[in-house]
Amino acid sequence: MKSIKYFIQSDKFNIPIAVKAWVKTFRNDRFIAVNDGSTIQNLQLVINPENFDEALLKKINTGAAISAKGELVESMGKGQRVEVLVDSLEILGESNPEEFPIQPKRHSLEFLREKAHLRPRTTLFGAIMRVRNALSFAVHKYFQENDFLYVNTPIITGADAEGAGEMFQVTTLDLNNIPKTDEGTPNYKEDFFNRKTNLTVSGQLEAETYAMALGKVYTFGPTFRAENSNTSRHLAEFWMIEPEVAFMDLAGDMDLAENFVQYIIKYVLEHNLDDLQFLEMRLKNEEKQKPANERSELSLIEKLSFVLDNNFIRLSYTEAIEILEKSKPYKKKKFKYPVAWGVDLHSEHERYLVEKHFKSPVIIFDYPANIKAFYMRLNDDGKTVRAMDVLFPGIGEIVGGSQREERLDVLLQKMRDLGVDEKELYWYVDTRKFGTAVHSGFGLGFERIVQFVTGMSNIRDVIPYPRFPGNADF
């Protein structure tokens, strides 16, 4: 069966068609707007009530699944190009209007989060999920067109790739009766994998071993962080895209990140314009509630076009600190977190640089070594590493990446300094023993780019079933 998307675009009229879809609205006993998810646009079905039983008409409620057959014609009415003159109509699944929570009116995002299993029935969530789908397709398209190989790195692992310890443990041990070692600690020898394991926080380390053989690779998979961050930009389970490229340095890494992000945004602008127009309108209405000085100067589509038309501004961490130290909010003590060379930048600092100072996406590189992970390449100054973060308006950090430390002795020293067990990661160290080479990569948080493209302010609204502290429903 062809989807509604196909009929909406049809330039063939007076042809018989059949559709199965869900009722959005039913007006004047005559006009049924239905949607099957293939497009944001509803298809208008026109019925002559005299031809149908009263009992059947009563069942045409918002949310009901119906099947209709009729003739596709050019519409006389305003608001749609085509409509269907219905000959036969069948209710496939009823929807009790007293109970169905998704009524044709505005619902709050908080309310819809509690109804996460039904929120895809709304126009808004349909649009978000089609944009999400297009973005993930564009991710694969970009890498495949550029000769990257898609590798699937393990989800259960013994390694802590980021060395931050924010991991969910995976175990089949009986928590009521944990086997103990002589020292009284849990005996993981008796666990499923005969060792302690966790859900991955990043596929990077494994991806590196593949890049050191296959040249250009990328992962695109679920990632887990047990950080207790109850923010609008953090999830406990999110999807990350991690390209890793042999013989590429940090400058190449920044070029790749910029080119890749621009490509996937362009793809969505070209393929999902109607969804974006809806999201733009929603955002405009939402902005009206805000005080004038907090409203965004650019509309959603202008913002996306801006990212395509302008190069990302690149500056070192040291330069970023200098700008922040001269900034108004710093002088007026408006920043919550301290600004000084050596401290990690917080989202308030990142957003000041991106939204107020440069008004453009920004890439900051060469961060202090001691605030970044062990695998980043040490610069000749001995205190900074070849790291880079891409910062976006409204989001802050969207990409984190680096040139990797390819020198065996330096890597081992850094692992010792940062307390990373080199025996445990012997396989990672091996890549530096056998045919080591300059290589680089980055991670793009998929939900963060979906947030940026859809203009949704909370990351929980751009993934079907968000996982965050205190919530794993559905």
Which residues contact Mg ion by CB under 5 A? Answer: 400
Locate all alpha helices (DSSP H) within 310-445, ordered by sequence: 317-325, 328-331, 347-351, 408-417, 426-433
User: Which residue among 119, 234, 351, 439 contacts ligand 4AD (CB under 6 A)?
Assistant: 234
Site string (432-451) toward ligand 4AD, x via CB under 6 A = ---------xxx-x-xx---
Site string (167-206) toward ligand 4AD, x via CB under 6 A = -----------------------------------x-x--
Q: CB of residue 202 vs ligand 4AD: minimum separation in angstroms?
A: 4
Q: Rg for the chain (alpha carbons), in Å?
A: 26
CA dihedral 110→113→115→119, nearest 10 degrees, is 110
Say which residue the tokens 């003159």 belong to.
85
Site string (360-399) toward ligand 4AD, x via CB under 6 A = -------------------------------------xxx
Q: Which does 443 bind (CB under 5 to 8 A by kind): Mg ion, ligand 4AD, none?
A: ligand 4AD
Q: Which long-range contacts (CB under 8 A, 24 or more apart) does 223-230 make?
A: 224/167, 224/168, 224/198, 224/199, 224/200, 225/166, 225/167, 225/201, 226/166, 226/167, 226/168, 227/164, 227/166, 228/469, 229/469, 230/468, 230/469
Q: CB of residue 119 vs ligand 4AD: minimum separation in angstroms?
A: 20
Q: C-alpha distances in angstroms, 320 versus 254, 316, 342, 353?
A: 17, 6, 12, 8
CA distance 18 to 87: 10
Nearer Cβ to Mg ion (396/400):
400
Q: What angle do CA 337, 338, 341 make, to 5 degrees?
A: 135
Q: CB of residue 24 vs Mg ion: minimum separation in angstroms?
A: 41
Q: CB of residue 340 vs ligand 4AD: minimum separation in angstroms?
A: 22
User: Binding to ligand 4AD by residue 64, rule CB under 6 A?
Assistant: no
Q: CB of residue 400 vs Mg ion: minimum separation in angstroms?
A: 3
Residues within the interface to ligand 4AD (CB under 6 A): 161-162, 202, 204, 225, 227, 234-235, 238, 240, 242, 397-402, 441-443, 445, 447-448
